[in-house]
Structure 1
């Protein structure tokens, strides 16, 4: 059964592939399936359990592929369905499972359904698949309510016949009406299509936003809010109770396969609500955004870790840890910035980052994350020590936030720059020499290529490979328990199993290591006197 105590996904390390930026197989500057297939041995050697591929479906790419025009095909720039089948087969042969992204909150405005809705007119069954409403005011010229879109601007767009359609994100991403049985049946069929091709699971985009209050009441906010209002139990478009009926039907489909498929939710919800998505008959795991957004401070980290494990333990669900992804500033850059308040700045280009400090802290955070019970996600390039490219030329920016904010918010392109693989000059092996990647790579990434990392035994890549190998082979790291041990202020110390300790020093002074312990892996060299330096983590074996 997929919810058995030893199910693979409970402790899996899953590598996120932003396919457009992973590897370019044909030299057009865009990552593709051919490039990904050529790098599968690298991923297998890294020691991961699965890959998660960001949307690879046909799309106008108004939002990096999260505006899907056809859920049962491959974008021509990435390859073909036959290539996708071969990728899945080859990944399985290397012991890697394959997870896809599904985007159920909205489609592209180029999806056949939306084109049919525009043509059919008000009140039609075709239009009922989406959320169309008449406007307010005597002539209907005012939006149906006061909601704001995630990428800036209003969340309603008016069409030629006078009606408005809802889009929580860009106008090119009209929201589906999940009260419509056709919508529910269509996505169940889409799940089966890919599961039948051998896909092992799905990451669910905006899992908390699919269901809306049909009354569409005003929110009274001056700008977009990704989370429910503090204390508001009945938000009109986030985290509504009816969403769980949908996920129960999806879980039944996943469990109907001989090797049950799995789901991971992208769900931004209020504290204590995430567990509702992980009940036995719903989803399997969910990203831990509290951990990603937590400042690298010992007391804050311990609170987030304890809360995450405790909230999910009631359901027997594992925590799923993550440090970076395609929507957030890379953590090498985040951890090199000064913190303000209790949360880390996610996209704060106005604050400089100390790259050496950020790298040191990122190495320590990696050992912390991989020592915690549960699963973990690695975002492509973090194993190479890549940092946020926050000085991309304005003419290169493609994130919809850039345009929708009136060129005031640069958006997420800085964490999506194509990977450097080999060589001393761009494209650094991302594609054939002479090809031009879709986003420019920094010249100094020559010291961050996979090739350069491989040649340096102290590199970030070697740290990840060693940690992932130990995670697979040390029995203590397969236990579910975490036991905190008293340690000085600004530090964390905990035990896994019967003999493995993880120590993290985030204070400004070296600290002594526990007596009778042998170091297994440290994020930085230990002190000659056997102390743990600041901004350093170590795994220890207790004799």
Structure 2
């Protein structure tokens, strides 16, 4: 079964300058009233995504799963969880997306499975040293009776990264206890994932986003780490970023190259520095890698310019496009994040007792300016569902409603990621704001969601939605995604450059910047006449 979009000979690969829209299925649209989004809901709302002018969608996991980590704990990589529908529902969604000119990227999760995966259940039933256990990271414990974990590694979600089983051995889980890590040094693991990739490629998907792409290979000997504080160099613990990992993706790339059309592999690789991320997109590996260094930047001209320069240099050195992103399902929404004082560490999240606060007016202005700056940069760009509506991070989620395992594993010390995952609003006056017709919602939606609803923004030239639509349209017309930048000096408080025939200026300072003579404003993030005021971005072209 294949159903792909044809690519004309001679065209550059679509993904090099694509704008891709991330769908978080459980929070996008619910067709059944269950309170959880599903594949039919996505199909019903694909016209909205197509109307934005984007090139593709990326779906977070919809596979069979106990849902202990919102589907990133996979129990069957080649089937749909009944929570989201069926394989037939997936095929229908894929067919409609392709009919609308949208390519479809799906997640794959190679670092770990669910503890309910048949392989792990077989491992629990088998003896230490068995082939079944060798597919995961089982080890004997330390101490005379083996009662101490094999090393001191902490879990990303808080607590230890090891759990002991009944016969005394321990298994590694970099994330939740219910997510045991695969042993990628065992060839059976690589063979299984080749089958998974082919299953979905044969079905017609256009690519994969690879979860924790930097984590599959663990160091020999599993050495202790020097510090438990993952907020200090938090994404460079010893279990991430090993060179042997790249051999996995070279194999995957050979599989992809054997298929017709431009299929894409995108790495989620939280490694430093940017040159290490670029290794994942060398010519014989993946095609894209999320630019988390850019995402993590504060609202600061010097830092953002440096991040842009370093990214274009590092990715350019390996012949790959940079891939820009401001928000996703793991980070505080950028509408809120870019105005927070002080900035919280990655992954901690926000809650009612968080000390950080963002001014609502300033957050809207900065979000608009940040979006226009990102969409003016050459390369690919990812948009997270709801950012086109201007959604903020939700703080006021009751403790008993929180779902992110981080909250429980840190005893509430970290709120986690629920605040960016609340189901999005479609109609201001409908049940659950149009998320479904029952009013149910797996995470509670705030009362202010009505003002962000899509039906209140359509046709309103001042709305966030219409800004996104126009920016994406002009990005294509002006060729910004396939261009190259030349820096322009408008002082230390500005990020300014020419991309082809377009001049882009973002003012981070208090002093206004005069609109250059001979240039006409094509798009502005706010009201601009003769001067560009603080927290504004403009796109300008030569006056005819």
> Which of 266, 276, 280 lines up with 1:277 in the alignment?
280
Change (3 A) 1:220 1:430: same
Further displaced range: 423-432 or 278-287: 423-432
Hey, what does 1:102 align to over in structure 2? Answer: 108
Query: Is it true that 1:459 corresponds to 2:463 in the alignment?
Result: yes
Q: How does 1:178-197 map to 2 (within 5 A)?
A: 178-197=184-203
Query: Which deviations, in whole Å up to 9, do the C-alpha atoms of 1:190-228 show, x marking residues without a partner?
Result: 000000000000000001110012311111323346958
Distance in 1 between the 2:494 and 2:257 partners? Answer: 42
Q: How does 1:51-200 map to 2 (within 5 A)?
A: 51-200=57-206
Residue 424 (structure 1) shift? 2.8
Query: Which deviations, in whole Å up to 9, do the C-alpha atoms of 1:516-536 show, x marking residues without a partner?
Result: 001111000114xx1111111
Residue 445 (structure 1) shift? 1.1
Partners of 1:228 and 1:270 within 8 A in 2 = no
Q: How does 1:177-256 map to 2 (within 5 A)?
A: 177-224=183-230, 236-256=238-258
Residue 336 (structure 1) shift? 2.1
Further displaced range: 6-15 or 506-515: 506-515
Distance in 1 between the 2:132 and 2:430 partners? Answer: 51
Residue 338 (structure 1) shift? 2.6
User: What SS does structure 2 have at the residue aligned with 1:100?
Assistant: strand
CA-atom RMSD in angstroms: 1.9
User: What SS does structure 2 have at the residue aligned with 1:387?
Assistant: coil
Hey, what does 1:521 align to over in structure 2? Answer: 523
> Which of 451, 464, 469 lines up with 1:447 in the alignment?
451
User: What SS does structure 2 have at the residue aligned with 1:321?
Assistant: strand
Partners of 2:428 and 2:451 within 8 A in 1 = no
Partners of 2:331 and 2:346 within 8 A in 1 = no
Partners of 1:56 and 1:65 within 8 A in 2 = yes
Structure 2: unaligned runs, 5 residues or longer = 1-6
Hey, what does 1:386 align to over in structure 2? Answer: 391
Structure 1: unaligned runs, 5 residues or longer = none
Further displaced range: 402-411 or 368-377: 402-411
Partners of 1:339 and 1:345 within 8 A in 2 = no
Hey, what does 2:3 align to over in structure 1? Answer: none
Hey, what does 1:257 align to over in structure 2? Answer: 259
Partners of 1:28 and 1:435 within 8 A in 2 = no
Hey, what does 1:44 align to over in structure 2? Answer: 50
User: What SS does structure 2 have at the residue aligned with 1:68?
Assistant: coil
Residue 127 (structure 1) shift? 0.6
Hey, what does 1:293 align to over in structure 2? Answer: 296
Query: Is it true that 1:315 corresponds to 2:318 in the alignment?
Result: yes
User: What SS does structure 2 have at the residue aligned with 1:311?
Assistant: helix
Partners of 1:228 and 1:238 within 8 A in 2 = no
Hey, what does 1:431 align to over in structure 2? Answer: 436
Query: Which deviations, in whole Å up to 9, do the C-alpha atoms of 1:29-84 show, x marking residues without a partner?
Result: 11001110001111101110000000000111111110000000001010000110
Distance in 2 between the 1:512 and 1:346 partners? Answer: 40
> Which of 508, 511, 514 lines up with 2:510 in the alignment?
508
Residue 425 (structure 1) shift? 5.6
Change (3 A) 1:52 1:409: same
Q: How does 1:408-423 map to 2 (within 5 A)?
A: 408-423=413-428
Partners of 1:133 and 1:164 within 8 A in 2 = yes
User: What SS does structure 2 have at the residue aligned with 1:273?
Assistant: helix
Distance in 2 between the 1:187 and 1:227 partners? Answer: 30
Hey, what does 1:370 align to over in structure 2? Answer: 375
Normalising by the residue count of structure 1, what TM-score does the alignment of the two structures yield? 0.95
**When the two structures are aligned, how many residues end up with a matched partner?**
533
Distance in 1 between the 2:43 and 2:255 partners? Answer: 28
